[in-house]
Amino acid sequence: MKIDTTLTLESLQPALERFWKISGQKIKLIEAEYDASKGSPVFTVEGKYTTRGWTEWTQGFQFGSAILQFDATGDESFLQYGREQTLAVMAPHITHKGVHDHGFNNVSTYGNLRRLMREGKIPHNEWEMNFYEMALKASGSVQAMRWSPNDKGGYLYSFNGPHSLFVDTIRTIRAVEMSWLLGHSLLTDNDAAINLLERALNHARSTAAYNIFYGEGRDKYDEWGRTAHEAIFNINDGAFRCPNAQQGFSGFTTWTRGLSWAMLGFPEQLELVAEVPDAELEPLGGRAEVEAFLLKAARATNDFFIANTASDGIPYWDTGAPKLYQLGNYTERPADPFNDWEPVDSSAAAIGVQGLLRLGKYLKDKGETADGERYWQAGLTSLKALLDEPYLSTDEKHQGLTLHSIYHEPNGWDHVPAGQKIACGEASMWGDYHMRESALLVTRMLKGEPYYRFFN
């Protein structure tokens, strides 16, 4: 990746204004055309959103996108749509005990609406606020029930079962932490209370220890910042067994969307922990120890992205994809979504941008100016590429916003257009939502509004 040190927020403002205009058009297009009886929209095929029956993990992104659009533009039609749909269809996600995706679905909807009310962007209504907060309390507790113990305290297991720790979940423990922030605790047998902050941070500790590599010789493929999609444990004694991948090429290569969840999830945890009183962190090893493992994982994963991404800040779908060698020195030139060998994944960039920017700001605020600037400018470099073609979807008939996203390359779920040899030209609901989040982060900074955090 070639970091553009000349970029500023102000230089991206015209592109951001264009982006929000196109974003609003896409939201309205989906609202007008998508058949909700088919399930949640997941990814596009020939420009139209389709579903894929795995879990309904993208519905909160659909309606959360409208809420973000209101936040950025003030257009109340998007607020109305986001509110109405959250009330109408999101309740099953609050009590869904079979998934690890609560932070995706519920913080993106109930959480964003609560945040806007607390920030004064929408009028305060006591009962509406109570509704959002009750949903968040319950959602975090339900997610926290998916618990497997190990030597790091334990982890929230994925929908694959108690043996499985997904790197994705580092960004969904926001739901558990929102529940804790609202003063809630999970009660189990005999009214034993589970500390939700402890559960969330022990999950983060397990993820940092077993899904992230640091060049310390864990295996032959150990490299600073390499990320495994899944860590497998023996549920009889909690012992770590091996890295694995569901959507990446292998457990010994780095699926870049998994990498991006970690790039963003760990800096967000640093932002949250900075607001947590010391006394709450003492039982977990104390502030210094907690911040140390979070920062190490944040630096490592963001460094790996910078080192293994094309020059414009857009990664290919897996850094060990078997035909990448056909592309030669692919990190030395802009990504090519139309190549003949391996797809790029713009959704990994859309997620990772926030990680780079948040880590950069965190370090600059701590006085580590040089490192902070490096990550910050890397984030702006990726963002600039995403705000323009071929990644920004300017076709008014295409329902997607951020093109060249990949869902599941090993399963062959992604659309390969006529005349192409690889999947390209399509969008995903998570990619579109996270692109809006990244754009909102910098848009609010340009406006002088409070820094966007999920727990504002």
Domain ranges of the chain: 10-144+169-210+255-447
In whole angstroms, give the CA distance from residue 440 to residue 448: 12
**Alpha-carbon gap, residue 233 to 155, rounded angstroms:** 10
Longest dimension (CA), the chain: 63
pLDDT at 52: 82
- For residue 152, CA distances in Å to 88, 186, 206, 208, 268 come to 39, 20, 6, 10, 20
So what CATH class is 10-144+169-210+255-447? mainly alpha
- The tens place of each residue's pLDDT in the chain, 456 residues long, gives 999 999 999 999 999 999 999 999 999 999 999 999 988 999 999 999 999 867 789 999 999 999 999 999 999 999 999 999 999 999 999 999 999 999 999 999 999 999 999 999 999 999 999 999 999 999 999 999 999 999 999 999 999 999 999 999 999 999 999 999 999 999 999 999 999 999 999 999 999 999 999 999 999 999 999 999 999 999 999 999 999 999 999 999 999 999 999 999 999 999 999 999 999 999 999 999 999 999 999 999 999 999 999 999 999 999 999 999 999 999 999 999 999 999 999 999 999 999 999 999 999 999 999 999 999 999 999 999 999 999 999 999 999 999 999 999 999 999 999 999 999 999 999 999 999 999 999 999 999 999 999 998
pLDDT of amino acid 56: 85
Q: In 10 A of CB 190, how many CB atoms?
A: 5
Q: What is the pTM of this model?
A: 0.98
- Within 90-158, residue ranges assigned H as helices are 91-94, 102-105, 112-118, 126-144
CB-CB contact of 165 with 173 (8 Å)? no
CA separation for the pair 269, 427 (Å, rounded)? 28
Residues 6+ apart with CB under 8 A from 438: 350, 351, 353, 354, 357, 383, 386
